[in-house]
């Protein structure tokens, strides 16, 4: 993985630069600053929409926006919902895109088409670069990640930079790509997958499950919790070294892509993106093609997005996002939990100060009688774990209980 530090990165998106090349004092040409939309395109592909061309997203989303304005009660199908949601996330992240599009819409259809094409092509350029970088890194590292024993090489061995020998031709990658509901140890299943008689790519592969275990009576259990997905996610969004460390540990000194983009939480689309890249890296497919009719890459990705967006799955997805955030963004997850908690030391201090202020305001002279309002029997923890009573004659602090 290469971080996007040279792509006009900033945590907050910026306006696009003027066109053309800048000149030095000697009037020599120097490369112009990278278009910030290149970086936005990378983030868009990784976290919002990975398989539909940005030009198409922009075109369809504007049509849908007009339709929804005319009929707020109209119902969108799954593809329309996915594209419209991606567009909404995009203009929230980079508001100038929405501004440019709707200004063009008010001018003419021709102007709108030109702006959609210009923005879309630049976003596509960024997305292609991101996907290429991410696939290259995961393809190499996954050979180590899938070992059953880190000290023992795969048998037969796999070359990190080559796809030859992967897929159902290899016992380890074949097992990981095997549909979760099938038994890879069954020779008939293996032969069917190798020959194509069994369409593996219509189903969820076992590599997406925690500990590579599938429970037929609880098909949701462990889904999206594979350590392979966690490693690949960290490799792309935090840093490659963080993929090899435990929770909250990272030896890297340079910021990762998530930090460069101001990303502090996992998104369903980013999970689907990583699953798509891991699936590709395990396969023997030489080139990535979103419209490939054998591996059905686009269908695989959109099926995951649709599933994670199902209203009936909302509770499970919320729990899943929390699980992921504690592993990828633990600092932000803890901070969010602490800010809303009431049973904390900081909350107790705040409560105590509020009570003291209320008592003081009740007596203008600041005199608080012994045993009066605000006086309580506080306790202090002793080294042996017990507690000893405190004198209440010299304090007006109310009773404070700490977790």
Q: What is the model's pLDDT at position 253?
A: 57
Round to whole Å and give the CA distance between 234 and 257.
10
Rounded average pLDDT over 36-41: 96
Range in 169-183, 184-198, 205-219, 378-392 with the lowest mean pLDDT: 378-392
Round to whole Å and give the CA distance between 319 and 334.
15
Cβ atoms of 322 and 333 closer than 8 Å: yes
Question: The whole model's pTM is what?
Answer: 0.76
Kindly tell me the sign of the dihedral angle through the C-alpha atoms of 84, 201, 204, 47.
Answer: negative
pLDDT at 387 over 80: no
Nearest to 361 by CA among 315, 400, 396: 396
Nearest to 225 by CA among 319, 334, 122: 319
Q: What is the model's pLDDT at position 377?
A: 42
Per-residue pLDDT tens for 60-86? 999 999 999 999 999 999 999 999 999
Rounded average pLDDT over 121-137: 97
What is the rounded average pLDDT for all residues in the chain? 82
pLDDT above 70 as % of the chain: 75
């Amino acid at each position: 993985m290469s971080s996007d530090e040279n792509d006009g990165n900033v945590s907050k998106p910026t306006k696009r630069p003027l066109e053309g090349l800048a000149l030095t004092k000697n009037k020599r040409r120097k490369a112009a600053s990278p278009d910030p939309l290149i970086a936005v395109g990378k983030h868009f592909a990784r976290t919002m929409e990975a398989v539909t061309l940005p030009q198409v997203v922009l075109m369809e989303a504007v049509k849908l926006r007009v339709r929804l304005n005319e009929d707020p009660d109209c119902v969108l199908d799954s593809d329309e919902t996915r594209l419209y949601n991606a567009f909404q996330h995009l203009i929230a992240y980079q508001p100038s895109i929405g501004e440019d599009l709707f200004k063009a819409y008010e001018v003419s259809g021709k102007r709108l088409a030109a702006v959609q094409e210009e923005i879309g092509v630049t976003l596509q350029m960024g997305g292609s670069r991101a996907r290429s970088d991410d696939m290259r890194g995961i393809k190499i590292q996954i050979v180590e990640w899938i070992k059953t024993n880190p000290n023992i090489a795969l048998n037969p061995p796999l070359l990190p930079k080559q796809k030859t020998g992967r897929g159902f031709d290899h016992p380890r990658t074949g097992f990981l790509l095997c549909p979760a509901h099938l038994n890879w140890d069954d020779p008939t299943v293996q032969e069917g997958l190798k020959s194509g008689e069994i369409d593996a790519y219509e189903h969820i592969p076992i590599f997406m499950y925690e500990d590579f275990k599938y429970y037929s009576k609880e098909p949701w259990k462990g889904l999206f919790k594979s350590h392979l997905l966690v490693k690949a996610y960290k490799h792309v969004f935090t840093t490659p070294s963080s993929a090899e460390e435990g929770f909250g540990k990272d030896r890297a000194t340079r910021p990762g892509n998530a930090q460069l983009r101001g990303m502090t939480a996992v998104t369903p689309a980013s999970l689907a993106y990583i699953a798509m890249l891991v699936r590709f890296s395990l396969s023997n497919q030489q080139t990535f093609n979103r419209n490939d009719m054998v591996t059905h890459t686009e269908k695989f990705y959109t099926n995951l997005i649709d599933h994670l967006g199902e209203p009936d799955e909302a509770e499970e997805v919320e729990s899943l996002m929390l699980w992921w955030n504690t592993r990828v963004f633990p600092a932000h997850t803890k901070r969010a939990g602490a800010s809303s908690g009431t049973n904390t030391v900081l909350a107790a201090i705040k409560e105590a100060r509020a009570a003291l202020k209320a008592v003081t305001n009740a007596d203008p002279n600041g005199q608080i009688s012994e045993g009066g309002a605000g006086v309580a029997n506080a306790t202090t923890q002793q080294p042996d774990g017990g507690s000893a009573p405190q004198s209440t004659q010299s304090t007006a602090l109310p009773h404070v209980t700490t977790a």
